[in-house]
Structure 1
Amino acid sequence: MKAEVREEIYLTARKWVEEAGEHIRRKINSPLVIDTKSNRNDLVTTMDRETESFFVTKIKETYPEHSIIGEEGYGDKLDNLNGVVWIIDPIDGTMNFVHQKRNFAISVGIYFDGVGEIGLIYDVMEDNLYHAKRNDGAFKNNEKLSPLNNNVVLEDAIIGMNHFWLCDNHFVEEKTMQQFVRTIRGARTYGSAALEFAFLAEGIMDGYLAMSLSPWDIAAGIVIVNEVGGVTTNIEGENLDMLEKNPVLTCNLCLQEKIIEFIKEGRK
């Protein structure tokens, strides 16, 4: 993708993300219709659908040749990432949005022939925009993020993960992950994969483990984490399939091997 083309797309996408965030803030206390998808904890609201529809309409009007993958199904059905593909989560952290009215984000990743070129994660209620363009660095609002500290040892690490790693885990023996939590300095759960990626890029966490994330959960975050020297793979250290769900590890490069070793020791 040519630099001038990417810059134009980036500026347009940023404008739309900020517009969508402002709309959500205005409507945050309005009545919502809340439905469930795969299970009673997999929530979707009218605001999720409205926000994704807003992006799809804008993209199709402005860039009709681009493709879209969106969580709520308003995009395209794709079997490849050829050309320019927008990967959108209109509200990442819907349960937080419904119950807390905070700790959720708009996540937009823009890929060109399978390579992440632009990442935007907007912490809507805090009005913090994490953003990056490939090889141009990552930013929080107008402040450039520093490269990650690659001298962190596992015992000093703060790792994002949820309780599923410690119980009801079909990947790793529970005792192994309990020992993992005892080994690291601390574990955190924010309820939004996009924000966990953003916080890693900001340097306030050292890694994030998730059992099953969809492309829209991680597309923007991968671009941003890459720009501060982080690495994102599946839990075996392999490349992710950006058209399928994946078990995901994103972390400081210096921790990747140690975390993967810990997981492999406890694989069922």
Structure 2
Amino acid sequence: METQTKQQLFEQARSWVLEAGEKIRQQMEQPFKVETKAGPNDLVTELDKETEKFFVEKINSTYPDHKLFGEEGFGDEIKTLDGTVWIVDPIDGTMNFVHQKRNFAISVGVYQDGVGEFGIIYDVMADVLYTGIQGEGAYKNGKRLDSLSKPQSLESSILCINSFWALRNKRVSEEGIHRLVEKVRGTRSFGSAALEFAYVAEGIIDGYLTMSLMPWDIAAGIVIVEEAGGITTQADGEPVNMLEKNSILTSHKDIHNEIVSEYIELKK
């Protein structure tokens, strides 16, 4: 994708994300219907669906040759990342949205032939915008993020660990996770994968480990973390597959290999 075209596409996506965020804020105090999907803790609301439809309509009318890969199923059936694909999570952190009315985000990653061109994560209620454009760095509200360029040790790191997936997943060694928790300075969990990626890019946490995320959870975050100087792989160090569910480790480069080699044991 040409630089000028990429910049123009980014500016359009940024405008739509901010517009969608404003629509969500305007409706936050209105009653909305909450449904479950795969299970009682897998929630979806009318605003999730309306927000994804908003992006579908905008993209289809403005870029009819582009595809949308979205969580709520209103986009295209994606079997390949050929061409330009928007990977959208309209509300990442729906449980936070329902229970807290904060700590959720709109996440939009645009990929060209499988390569992340840019990512946008918008903390809607805090009005904080994280962005990353391939080859141009990562930013928070327009200020460049550079914390990941500083040396980091695992002993002084704070990790986000989704304990539900890390400790209840039959494929992961609980003993390794326990040793990892004992090694690091502290652990946290924020309930929104997009925001946890953003916090890694910002340097306010040093890594995020979880065992089950879909492409729309991570598409924007991967670009932003990489542009900030971090790295994202599956938990065992293998490349991420942007067409299916993945385990994920995104972190400061100085601690990534140590976590993978010494603490992560995935069972076949």
TM-score (norm 2): 0.97
Moved over 3 A (4+): 263-268
Over the residues paired in the alignment, what is the CA RMSD in angstroms? Answer: 1.3
DSSP 3-state at the match of 1:154:
coil
Q: What is the correspondence of 1:211-250 to structure 2 with a 5 Å cutoff?
A: 211-250=211-250
Compute the displacement of 1:166 (Å): 5.5
The CA distance in 1 between the partners of 2:266 and 2:10, in whole Å, is 42
- Partner of 2:20 in structure 1? 20
- Unaligned 5+ runs, structure 1: none
The CA distance in 2 between the partners of 1:206 and 1:103, in whole Å, is 19
- Partner of 2:185 in structure 1? 185
- Partner of 2:124 in structure 1? 124
The CA distance in 2 between the partners of 1:21 and 1:165, in whole Å, is 29
Identity of aligned pairs, percent? Answer: 54
- Partner of 2:95 in structure 1? 95
Compute the displacement of 1:210 (Å): 1.0
Compute the displacement of 1:30 (Å): 0.7
- One-letter amino acid of the structure 2 residue matched with residue 98 of structure 1: V
- Partner of 1:57 in structure 2? 57
The CA distance in 2 between the partners of 1:176 and 1:115, in whole Å, is 32
DSSP 3-state at the match of 2:82:
coil
DSSP 3-state at the match of 1:95:
helix
- One-letter amino acid of the structure 2 residue matched with residue 139 of structure 1: Y
The CA distance in 1 between the partners of 2:14 and 2:166, in whole Å, is 38
Deviation string for 1:187-215 (max 9, x for gaps)? Answer: 11000000000000001010000111000
**2:167–2:177 Cα contact (<8 Å) kept:** no
- One-letter amino acid of the structure 2 residue matched with residue 90 of structure 1: P
DSSP 3-state at the match of 2:212:
strand
Compute the displacement of 1:224 (Å): 0.4
- One-letter amino acid of the structure 1 residue matched with residue 144 of structure 2: K
Larger deviation, residues 2-11 vs 44-53: 2-11
- Partner of 2:261 in structure 1? 261
TM-score (norm 1): 0.97
The CA distance in 1 between the partners of 2:126 and 2:96, in whole Å, is 14
**1:130–1:198 Cα contact (<8 Å) kept:** yes
The CA distance in 1 between the partners of 2:217 and 2:173, in whole Å, is 25
Q: What is the correspondence of 1:161-172 to structure 2 with a 5 Å cutoff?
A: 161-165=161-165, 167-172=167-172
The CA distance in 2 between the partners of 1:17 and 1:165, in whole Å, is 29
Compute the displacement of 1:149 (Å): 4.0
Compute the displacement of 1:97 (Å): 0.1
The CA distance in 2 between the partners of 1:73 and 1:93, in whole Å, is 17
State yes or no: 1:71 paired with 2:71. Answer: yes
DSSP 3-state at the match of 1:148:
helix
- Partner of 2:152 in structure 1? 152
